[in-house]
Amino acid sequence: MRRLITAFLLFQASTVSWSSTEANFEPSNAKELTLLVYNTHGLPEFFARDNPKKRFPKIGELTGGYDLSLLQEDFAHHDLLLKGVQRPQSVVRGMDAQSPNCLVCSGSGLTLVSNLSSNWTVSASFEPFNTCSGWLTKLNDCFAQKGFQLAILESAAGLRIYIVNTHLDAGQSELDRLARASQLDQIALALEADASNEAVLIVGDLNLDWESPADNELLQNFVQRLNLVLAQKGGDASSDWKTLDYIYYRSSKKTSLTVDGAGEDTAFTDNAKPLSDHPALFTNFIIR
């Protein structure tokens, strides 16, 4: 298992850092961070069975309402997403050139979209999972380059947050669950090595069904291991959604995170139909 410090060295060439000049965001004065977490249903059009050409530019446009958007399944329509994004130069994808790619997809499907102000700097890297489940059987997760995207958000005042954006293996077989357990362990080991005393956000499509005892046990063990607090989960947004998507957080001695609102952003619709097969979750954090 590579530690994140190693990952940063390995992926230094693809690491993205930026500062921006928009918005009034003063972290030293305990301002708000608005966060979107969204599985975009970005499979190739043949498999998605819908109209990505219409959906993805609108998804990109709607990310403009958030300081930080963490997306999953941004596989096959990234260029369409960028058509709607306010600042394409502040978008970074999670990918590893040394890992095999899905022939019809792109990278991990993990994308970070930043509209943060110049008070913040962001560095981002990606680490592929060591384990997957399914090639030509089950849900074919091994065709995608799944892993976790790590962003480090820092302010001039010394506030720092480690942010994990991830999409775990799907499926309900024992092999699928073993893969998810390994993936959670990989994330936990990385954070324990490099962010043990840091404020943390862990978000994404964890493919852990809240209603499944076996999945929930995996989730709660992970949460307790890293001392996380639940900010929002998919099923809380609407009873129509299966609970697979989560936003977890923890504070540190130097950086305090407080939830100041969370839910589902129902603007992610077109003609009253959702833009994805997952809810658009948001959480507003006060950072001190």
> pLDDT tens digits for 49-81?
789 999 999 999 999 999 999 999 999 999 999
Residue 26's pLDDT band (boundaries 50, 70, 90)?
A: very low
Residue among 50, 102, 121, 103 nearest 80 (CA): 50
Q: Which residues of 228-245 are buried (b: 16+ CB within 10 A; e: fewer)?
A: beebbbbbbbeeebebbb
Out of 122-136, 153-167, 239-253, which region has the weakest mean confidence (pLDDT)? Answer: 122-136
Query: Which of the pair, 108 or 107, is modelled with greater confidence?
Result: 108
53 class by beta-carbon count within 10 Å (0-12 exposed, 13-18 middle, 19+ buried): exposed
Beta bridge partners of 201: 163, 249
Whole-angstrom Cα distance, residue 286 to residue 260?
6
Q: Which residues of 159-195 are buried (b: 16+ CB within 10 A; e: fewer)?
A: bebbbbbbbbbbbeeeebbebbbbbbbbbbebbeebb
Only one residue has tokens 């399914």, namely 134
Phi first, then psi: give them for residue 158, nearest 5 degrees.
Answer: 95, 5
Structural domains of the chain sorted by starting position, each given as residue range(s) with its CATH number in brackets = 4-12+31-287 (3.60.10.10)
Strands in the chain per DSSP E:
16-18, 32-39, 68-72, 91-93, 111-114, 120-128, 147-155, 160-167, 199-205, 229-233, 245-250, 257-264, 269-270, 273-274, 281-287
Residue range 181-193: average pLDDT? Answer: 99
Q: What are the pLDDT digits (tens) for 245-255?
A: 999 999 999 99
The dihedral region occupied by 164, where left means phi > 0, alpha psi between -120 and 50, and beta the remainder, is beta
pLDDT beyond 50 at 12: no
What pLDDT was estimated at residue 21?
Answer: 32
What pLDDT was estimated at residue 31?
Answer: 78
pLDDT beyond 60 at 264: yes
Residue 29's pLDDT band (boundaries 50, 70, 90)?
A: low
Q: Percentage of the chain surpassing pLDDT 90?
A: 71
Whole-angstrom Cα distance, residue 95 to residue 102?
12
What pLDDT was estimated at residue 102?
Answer: 53
pTM beyond 0.85: the answer is yes
Write the CA distances from 175 to 20, 93, 138, 229, integer angstroms.
44, 28, 10, 28
Residue among 70, 79, 159 nearest 119 (CA): 159
